[in-house]
Chain A
Amino acid sequence: MLKVEHLSMVYPDGTIALRDVSFEVKEGEFLGIIGLSGSGKSTLLRCINRLLEPSEGKIIWNGRDITHIDQSELRMVRREIGMVFQQFNLVKRSSVMVNVLSGRLGYTPPSWSLINRFSRADRALAVAALERVGIADKANNRADELSGGQQQRVGIARALMQQPKMILADEPVASLDPVLSHSILGYLEKLNKEDNITVLCSLHFLDLVQRYSTRVIGLRSGKLVFEGGKKDIAEISDSRFKEIYGEEAQRLGVE
């Protein structure tokens, strides 16, 4: 469903964040992306929905090259791909409901949303999305009144509003404590299994990757250094581990 071919990304200041990365994602997969901080995980995810413009290479979405499509076509693609962020990226002063509804903007005529009108169907969808992540009672609270875990659930509900085929999650649990991490990843897993939404999720901890991913890729300094299925993750040897994380790294787990 998603094919990344020879992707490279150089920031304007000359930092090379991705070097010739190629991989493929099948429908229904939960792809974990591992790598040290600074290895290019965020850059890779943002190149996929072109929040960042890749310098070279191709991104093929459902058989179509979207690397150079124009803004209006790009919006059509983006609304099929939800995104969840480490810092949640909610509008703090807006209500939870408005934050969730804003996930629907890609489907709303721009002139309508100018005067804050969402259709009744959209509102129903938003309530359903909030119920799915278990915070329907917070709909009218301001987003910054919620705890971190709750905010990330709002973030997931917002992505759900897009009725996405795929969700890009950029370290969705890095700002949360371990118990909440499992809860959030559990929601993503549920969406992956029940709704057949493909998930690309960058994660820090190997045990989380082992627990939730069906397949994993590893990045180091912008290069793809590891690719494997669920079995391979379990069998990552110490030497393989050091290849991904560098010589000084120690295996550390939560739980």
Chain B
Amino acid sequence: MTKGIAAPRPSLLHGILSLLVPGLGQFVVGARGRGSAIFASVVVLGGLSAWTISQKARFPDFSLSFVIFAKLVFATGLLLLFLVALRALVSRFILRDASLEAFSAYGMGILYFLALVVAGNQILATAGSAEQLAFVFGGTALFAAGSLAALWLWNVADAARIGGAGLGGHLPSLALPILLVCLLVFSLGYNITRVDLPKAITEYQDISILLPRILWPWRAAFAYDQEVVEETQLIQAPCPDGAIGPPSNEPQAGEPWISATPTCGEVGVRAITGGFEPGTLLTITGGGFVPGQTVNILWKNPIGNAFRPRGVGETEILINENGEFTSQLNIPDVVIPEATASGDQIHTLVVRQEDVEVFGWRFSDDMKLALVGMLETIMMGLMATFFGMILAFPISFLAARNLMAPIVSPLNGIVGGIVGLVAGIWLGSELAGRAAEALGGLANAPIQIFLIGAVLVIGLGYAGLTLAGRLFALMLERLGGAANDTISAILLAAMIAVPGYFLGRGFSRGVMSIVQGADIAAINEQNFAYAGAILLAVLTLLYAFRNRGGRGIPIGSIIYTTTRTILNILRSVEALIYAIIFAIWVGLGPFAGMLALTLHTVASLAKLYSEAIESIEPGPLEALNATGATRLQTIVYAVIPQILPPAISFTVYRWDINVRMSTIIGFVGGGGIGFIMLQWQRLYQWELVGIAVWLIAITVATLDYVSAEIRERTI
């Protein structure tokens, strides 16, 4: 505070008002906005804080946490007041120099913060019993309350100052309260997002095991060749009286063989009590294997299930330098299913030699799956961009203000145009239906039918719009001034009544049925529908009569605003969310993802294109208008050449975004690499997840580079 100039005395009254109700003092002085903002901040932040800290409990008790929070605000407020008083006392009695301050406002803030940290537990203890405090986030409560208390006290000082000085001159700065609000919001946000720094450090090992497998997953990307030799000897068990069992194999020269004696015996028996009585002891010999290798012994039961016998002898045997071995094994316990228990039970003794795995110079099946998924992803992005571009291009002209704003049509032309448009579209869809029948149904020739349908509907709609528009205008103009205006207005009102009818009905179904319940709303539905129709019709009539004899209806601006609004709404929902809807509609897979991306792409490209159109030079447009070119011709010759470079750039950029998006759109069922990756993640196949991550990273980085190059070249 500057000394020398007499500072106005602070107003005690206003300070007290603001102490009781934050912002009231300011409000009374006349700083209405300031007062309301302070009041709203304190109420909202206080409530939010009390709610946030209550969330620690399983069954939050809001009133308890509110009381605790209020007490904390009081306590921290006292603490802050104490510091302020301390500052004043030290300045006055120890420094004894009115021009010196013991510490600055910043210093006081730091002291306050330190006090909150050091004496935190003591302050908390004043707010409730240990049992009560267990239900709230103590630390968050302390700092939120501390910020709020400071805000409250600042508000008192502010009110006193403004009350003393009046509204003349400018109001004191809001930097401090804004800082306090930020601090408070930050301390709540820290809690709400569950920031847990210790966890990030202590649980590092969880990821440290996985990380190498994700970061360097390439072993899983390739197939390995392995030669396996399996030699078998048939064994009969149990061995009924008189049975001799299958013949023992004879040694073979030059190739692997095994044999066993006897070939008929009893299976082991495992008692329920845990005891085990091994089966008949077999002597196994073999030869012709690779010297020095280890072979495995497996047992295959009569229905062909192989397993490694346990506790009945060695199952891993080293082959000697002659390629031979001898070993012994008791017949293991084999549970023979009741269904196959009759007749001779023939088991198979298997000796299996596995060569070392040899790198196969081929991709593994998983890698192939990942590559297919990646291809699917890239194509999804490409197709979405392509279709999005085609659809967005014509729409963007409707969303360009400089092209649409000058379009003004007389009332009679609009009436005819709407009639013609509706009739044309109806006729077009009828004809398209016939064409579909002739071509053998939608399933038979979908692409042809779609194209024919689009051409018919758009073409006839446009033809109807222009022809009927002109026809109506001619007919009505013949009637002359007043009759023309009146008839046009009445016809337009009648047409607008139709959407009015449906809007009214929609209001009844959508709003009244929520308020009154569906049954009562259904009774009044028709009334609402008629009311909607009449309302819109009357409004249209009023509008038409007010504009009578003027320049006509700014139909271009109306279309422009409508288009922009729809695009903005479409764009505000992410493609990922559309994918959820489309996955239900057309099923899981890349088609759903493509549709979702396309929808979002149309909305954003149309906006970007239309902005490019709005920034073209108007001169050439004017010049071509002056030559007598039609609107379409001026667009082709004056607009498109000018917007081509930015449009290409935007499209490539969007392609880039779409491929990026399509990598994760599979997470919600949109197909592509994301879909596969999600499956692998759920199976904890971290190498495979790693492969997917790598493929995505490589693709996106490549695309980034390519798109940047293309864009650089087109501008």
Most buried by A among B636, B642, B644, B645: B636
* B551→A75 contact, CB < 8 A: no
- Known A91-B642, A98-B637, A113-B636; contact A76-B628, beta-carbon cutoff 8 A: yes
Asked if residues B551 and A49 are in contact (CB atoms below 8 Å), the reply is no
Q: How far is the CB of B534 from chain A (nearest CB, A)?
A: 33
Question: Which residues from chain A contact B641 at a C-beta distance below 8 Å?
Answer: 91, 93-94
| Partner of B633 from A74, A113, A168 at Cβ < 8 Å | A113
- How distant is the Cα of A116 from the Cα of B636 in the complex, in angstroms? 9
- A57 smallest CB distance to B (angstroms): 16
Interface size on A, residues (CB 8 A): 41
Chain A, residue nearest B466 (CB): A72
Q: Which residues of B sit under 8 angstroms from A75, Cβ to Cβ? A: 628-630
User: How far is it, in angstroms, between the C-alpha of A114 and the C-alpha of B459 when the chains are bound?
Assistant: 15
Q: Mark B254-284, 1 if CB is under 8 A from A, else 0.
A: 0000000000000000000000000000000
Inter-chain contacts of B645 with A (CB < 8 A): 93
The smallest C-beta distance from B397 to any residue of chain A, in angstroms, reads: 14
| Contact between chains at B627 and A91 (CB < 8 Å) | no
Q: Is B622 an interface residue (CB 8 A)?
A: yes
> Once the chains bind, are A78 and B628 in contact (CB under 8 Å)?
yes
**Smallest distance from the beta carbon of B645 to chain A beta carbons, Å?**
8
Distance A113 CA – B626 CA, assembled complex (angstroms): 17
Do the beta carbons of B637 and A94 come within 8 Å of each other? yes
Q: Are A102 and B628 in contact (CB under 8 A)?
A: no
Residue on B nearest A49 in the bound complex, by CB: B626
* Complex Cα spacing A72 to B473, Å: 13
- Nearest CB on B from A6, distance (A): 19
- Alpha-carbon separation in the docked complex, A106 to B633 (Å): 9
Contact residues, B522-551 vs A (CB, 8 A): 551
Instruction: Assess whether A108 is in contact with B620, with CB atoms less than 8 Å apart.
Output: no
Instruction: Please measure, in the bound complex, the distance between the C-alpha atom of A228 and the C-alpha atom of B681, giving whole angstroms.
Output: 90
Within 8 A of B (CB), among A67-117: 70, 72, 74-79, 81-83, 85, 87-94, 98, 102-108, 110, 113-114, 116
Given contacts A53-B551, A110-B633, contact A83 B628 (CB under 8 A): no
Residue interface mask B623-664, A partner, CB < 8 A = 1: 111111110111011100110110000000000000000000
Complex formed: what's the CA distance from A107 to B630 in Å? 10
Does A121 make an interface contact (CB < 8 A)? no
Contact, CB under 8 Å: A106 / B644: no
> Is B619 interfacial (CB-CB < 8 Å)?
yes
Among B551, B619, B633, B637, point to the contact of A89 (Cβ < 8 A). B619
Q: Please, which residues of chain A bring their CB within 8 A of the CB of B627?
A: 78-79, 82-83, 102-106, 158-159, 161-162
Q: A51-B622, A79-B627 are in contact. Are A93 and B637 (CB under 8 A)?
A: no
- Report the bound CA distance from A161 to B623 in whole Å: 13
Residues A91 and B625 in contact in the complex (CB < 8 Å), given A110-B630, A110-B632, A114-B632: no
- Give min CB distance, A156 to chain B, whole Å: 12
Q: Which of A75, A94, A105 has the most CB of B within 10 A?
A: A105
In Å, the complex CA distance between A83 and B620 comes to: 11
CB distance from A202 to the nearest CB of B (A): 15
How many angstroms between the C-alpha atoms of A81 and B626 in the bound complex? 8
What separation, in Å, do the CA atoms of A226 and B624 have in the docked complex? 32
Q: Which chain B residue has the least Cβ–Cβ distance from A90?
A: B620
Q: Which residues of B contact A116 (CB under 8 A)?
A: 636
In the bound complex, what is the Cα–Cα distance between A73 and B301 (angstroms)?
96
- Once the chains are docked, how many angstroms separate the CA of A189 from the CA of B112? 88
Contact B619–A87 (Cβ < 8 Å): yes
Q: Is the CB of A105 within 8 A of B628?
A: yes
Per the 8 Å Cβ criterion, residues 42-78 of A in contact with B are 49, 51, 53, 70, 72, 74-78
Q: How far is A74 from B626 in the complex, measured between Cα atoms in Å?
A: 10
Range of interface residues on B (Cβ < 8 Å): 20 to 34
Q: Nearest Cβ in chain A — how far from B355, in angstroms?
A: 67
Q: Which of chain A's residues 97-152 have a Cβ closer than 8 Å to chain B?
A: 98, 102-108, 110, 113-114, 116
Min CB–CB distance A99 → chain B (angstroms):
8
What residues of A have a CB within 8 angstroms of the CB of B642 in the complex? 91-93
A88 vs B623: C-alpha distance when bound (angstroms): 9
CB distance from A163 to the nearest CB of B (A): 11
Chain A residues near B644: list those with CB within 8 A: 93
Complex interface: chain A residues within 8 A of B634 (CB): 105
A93 CB, nearest partner CB in chain B, Å: 5
Taking CB atoms, residues of chain A closer than 8 Å to B625 are: 51, 78
Bound-state CA distance A197–B571 (Å) is 54
Per the bound structure, the CA–CA distance linking A102 and B621 in Å amounts to 11
Q: Encode B609-622 as 1/0 by CB contact (under 8 A) with A.
A: 00000000101101
Q: Which residues does chain A contribute within 8 Å of B629, judged by CB atoms?
A: 75, 102, 105-106, 113
Whole-angstrom distance from the CB of A219 to the nearest CB of chain B?
A: 20
Residue of A74, A81, A82, A102 near B637 (CB, 8 A) is: A102
> Closest CB-CB distance, B403 to chain A, in whole Å?
15
| CA A26 to CA B691, docked complex, whole Å | 82
CB distance from B374 to the nearest CB of A (A): 37
Q: In the complex, which residues of chain A have a beta carbon less than 8 angstroms from the beta carbon of B637?
A: 91, 94, 98, 102, 105, 113
Q: Please judge, given known A-B contacts A93-B641, A93-B644, A98-B637, whether A105 and B619 are in contact too, CB under 8 Å.
A: no
- Contact yes or no, A158 B623, CB < 8 A: yes
Q: Is B636 in contact with A89, judged by CB distance below 8 angstroms?
A: no
**Known contacts being A70-B473, A91-B620, is A105 close to B633, with CB within 8 Å?**
yes
Whether A162 contacts B623 in the complex (CB less than 8 A), given A102-B637, A105-B637, A113-B633, comes out as no
- Cβ-defined contact, B632 with A162, below 8 A: no
Q: What distance in Å separates the Cβ of B681 from its nearest Cβ neighbour in chain A?
A: 49
Nearest Cβ in chain A — how far from B703, in angstroms?
27
A107 to B629 Cα, complex, angstroms: 8
CA of A85 to CA of B627, assembled, Å:
12
| Option from A49, A88, A102 in Cβ contact (under 8 Å) with B624 | A102
Chain B CB within 10 A, most for which of A72, A102, A107: A102
Contacts of B619 in A (CB 8 A): 85, 87-89
Task: Evaluate contact between A51 and B626: CB separation under 8 angstroms.
Answer: yes
**A94-B641, A105-B629 are known contacts. Are A83 and B636 too (CB-CB below 8 A)?**
no
> Contact between A79 and B636 (Cβ–Cβ < 8 Å)?
no
Name which residue of chain A comes closest to B619, CB basis.
A89
Distance in Å: Cβ of A42 to nearest Cβ of chain B:
11
* Cross-interface CB contact of A108 among B473, B633, B638, cutoff 8 Å: B633
Q: Please, how many angstroms separate the alpha-carbon atoms of A113 and B635 in the complex?
A: 11
A168 to B632, CA, bound (A): 24
Q: B620 and A106: CB pair below 8 A?
A: no
- Nearest Cβ distance between residue A172 and chain B, in whole angstroms? 12
B408 to chain A, nearest CB (A): 9
- For A105, the chain B residues whose CB sits under 8 A away are 624, 627-630, 633-634, 637
CB of A222, distance to nearest CB on chain B (Å): 21
Closest to B626 in A: A83
Which listed residue (A83, A91, A106) contacts B638, Cβ 8 A?
A91
Q: How far is the CA of A87 from the CA of B473 in the complex (A)?
A: 37
How far in angstroms is the closest Cβ of chain B from A165?
A: 13
| Closest chain A CB from B566 CB (angstroms) | 26
Give 29 pairs: A residue, B residue, CB < 8 Å, sorted on A.
Answer: A51-B625, A70-B473, A75-B628, A78-B628, A83-B623, A83-B626, A85-B622, A85-B623, A87-B619, A89-B619, A90-B623, A92-B642, A93-B642, A93-B644, A102-B627, A102-B637, A104-B627, A105-B628, A105-B630, A106-B629, A107-B628, A110-B632, A110-B633, A113-B633, A113-B636, A113-B637, A114-B636, A158-B623, A159-B627
Q: Which 4 residue pairs of A and B lie closest in terms of their CB atoms, listed nearest first?
A: A106-B628, A79-B628, A89-B619, A105-B629
* Contacts from A to B (Cβ < 8 Å): 49, 51, 53, 70, 72, 74-79, 81-83, 85, 87-94, 98, 102-108, 110, 113-114, 116, 155, 158-159, 161-162, 168
Extra contacts, 14 of them, besides A83-B623, A98-B637, A158-B623 (Cβ < 8 A), are A53-B551, A82-B626, A85-B622, A89-B619, A90-B620, A90-B623, A102-B638, A103-B627, A104-B627, A105-B628, A105-B637, A106-B627, A108-B633, A110-B633
